Amino acid sequence: MSWEKSDIDTPGKREKYTISVVGCGRIGLPTALTFADAGFRVVGADTDPHVVNLLTRGRTPFDEPRMGELLKRHVKSGRFTATTDIRKASSESDVVILAVPAPIDQKKKPDYSPVEKTCKDVGIGLRRGSIVIIASTTGPGTAETLAKETLENSSGLKAGSDFGLAYSPTRAAPGRVLSDIVSYPRVVGAVNEESLRVASIIFGAVVKGGTVEVKDMKTAEAVKLFENVQRDVSIALANELSRFCEKVGIDFHEAQRAANTQPHCHLLVPGIVGGHIQEAPYLLVEEAENTNVKLRMLLLARKINDEMVAHTIRLTKDALKHCGRALGRARITVLGVSYRANIKEPRGSSTKELVDSLRAKGATVRVYDPFYSFKEMTDMGFPTEISLTKAVEGADCLIFVVGHDRFKRLNLRRVKFLMRKSAAIVDMGHVVEVPLKAEKEGFVYRGVGRGVWSK
């Protein structure tokens, strides 16, 4: 691991080095293309033959701004290749970056088997003098125990002396992963000083925001989880306050904007929480329980945020009641499948849970999201329509789950014309800026935290 900054300070020098990124998902593939764009030779390794086949043909398995263009360019130039053979990729690489998930199972426990199997395959092919950098989101201590031990046992090499080992979480959100990887400071922890130095040099070649070196891998793992948990807890606070506002006739948005003029106040917007933020508390709680520490606030925040689907149904039931209809006989159109606005990412979305709950209560439900085709919607099990107009037509109630810009541009008067005579809007995605405007168009309005409705 005799790396120096001067070894990779130009694209011409970087092409002498090969980096394998194992796991070509929403974090791994953008990571691979970022390094390819900087001049490195990159191998994307994934166990899914379908994903590898797509990548080999220059096609992306998911949507992400600018990624398709980068992939085609680097596949054509030969700078990026893809394979299902993780062991071979590892044996040919100077750097191996692990970006495989550690999912949460139905019992809310982390499943580290994908990480363990990947470390085993990488270890079998690992060559002396290379460095392994773990970028998966894992509980504190996982990298220096499970990952390190598996790599050493399968390779017969010693971490820190025969090969480098570091942990560096990726701080990026779907829809802007490529830009986030480059612009956000990169947190790096390692098994020893030399591994830390080399990992920082490697990321320094692509990260404009610089690197933040921490004491060890356990600390680096905690940093990523702390960031996600902080957001989860903050949204839980907003959700609690929003329900209070609904009861006492306060518009949370107005109160939030005013409160946030205080420099040290940063109230977030309320709503249904989705994405990887939901998983971070459980990764921390698992490690805390092993040390007899109770992280009560984390679990309480998760409970509060998990209850927002039920709260959506309560608001819907109340809105329909004021329309003279019962939930069990209502026709409801749910707008939004992605977990966050203006991206195409269903993982972590609560829309399926909401739809299933509404149908279990007897409602007829249609779902629409402009980011997905009719086939994609039906493949995910959603009752859908070919257009927004068809989805809205004849509905008693619209539920905005996600605040896509497309929804914010809707003409409420035209939408009302398509719906039943007495119709409702339930706004969980902050689509309607002024609730009174929806009421003037004839809707019964309910919105998370918007306690200013008059009907």
CATH class, range 307-447? alpha beta
| Residue 216 pLDDT greater than 70, yes or no | yes
Query: What's the average model confidence in pLDDT over 419-436?
Result: 96
Can you give the residue ranges of every domain in the chain?
A: 14-215, 225-305, 307-447
| Residue 114 pLDDT greater than 70, yes or no | yes
| Residue 77 pLDDT greater than 80, yes or no | yes
Structure tokens at 120: 């085993």
| Residue 280 pLDDT greater than 90, yes or no | no
Query: What's the average model confidence in pLDDT over 70-92?
Result: 97
Cα–Cα distance, 239 to 251 (Å, whole number): 13
CATH architecture of 14-215: 3-Layer(aba) Sandwich (3.40)
Structure tokens at 217: 């891998």
Tell me, what's the pLDDT at 327? Answer: 97
- Kind of pairing, strands 164-167 and 186-190? antiparallel
The 10s digit of each residue's pLDDT in 323-357 is: 999 999 999 999 999 999 999 989 889 999 999 99
Tell me, what's the pLDDT at 106? Answer: 85
Write phi, then psi, for 198 (nearest 5 degrees).
Answer: -70, -45
Cα–Cα distance, 226 to 281 (Å, whole number): 9
Better-predicted residue by pLDDT, 455 or 310 = 310
Tell me, what's the pLDDT at 448? Answer: 97
The 10s digit of each residue's pLDDT in 3-14 is: 899 999 999 999
The DSSP output letter for 448 is T
Amino acid at 109: K
Q: With pLDDT > 70 as the criterion, what percentage of the chain qualifies?
A: 100
| Residue 276 pLDDT greater than 80, yes or no | no
Within 10 A of 16 (CB to CB), how many other CB atoms are there? 12
Better-predicted residue by pLDDT, 276 or 111 = 111
The 10s digit of each residue's pLDDT in 183-202 is: 999 999 999 999 999 999 99
Q: For residue 366, what pLDDT band results from cuts at 50, 70 and 90?
A: very high
Q: For residue 2, what pLDDT band results from cuts at 50, 70 and 90?
A: confident
The 10s digit of each residue's pLDDT in 28-47 is: 999 999 999 999 999 999 99
Cα–Cα distance, 140 to 102 (Å, whole number): 13
Q: Please tell me whether residue 386 adopts helix, strand or coil conformation.
A: coil
Tell me, what's the pLDDT at 278? Answer: 85
Contact 103, 112 (CB under 8 A): no
Query: What's the average model confidence in pLDDT over 226-238?
Result: 95
The DSSP output letter for 1 is -
- Kind of pairing, strands 95-98 and 397-400? unpaired
Contact 39, 108 (CB under 8 A): no
Average pLDDT, the chain: 95
User: Does the fold of domain 307-447 match that of domain 225-305?
Assistant: no
Tell me, what's the pLDDT at 1? Answer: 66
Nearest alpha-carbon partner for 3 in 133, 139, 136, 158: 133
Query: What's the average model confidence in pLDDT over 386-415?
Result: 96
Tell me, what's the pLDDT at 277? Answer: 80
In order of 103, 115, 175, the CA distances from 106 in angstroms are: 10, 18, 27
Nearest alpha-carbon partner for 327 in 354, 362, 301, 292: 362
At the topology level, CATH places domain 225-305 in N-(1-d-carboxylethyl)-l-norvaline Dehydrogenase; domain 2 (1.10.1040)
Tell me, what's the pLDDT at 273? Answer: 85
* pTM (predicted TM-score): 0.92
Tell me, what's the pLDDT at 274? Answer: 80
| Residue 289 pLDDT greater than 70, yes or no | yes
The 10s digit of each residue's pLDDT in 143-155 is: 999 999 999 999 9
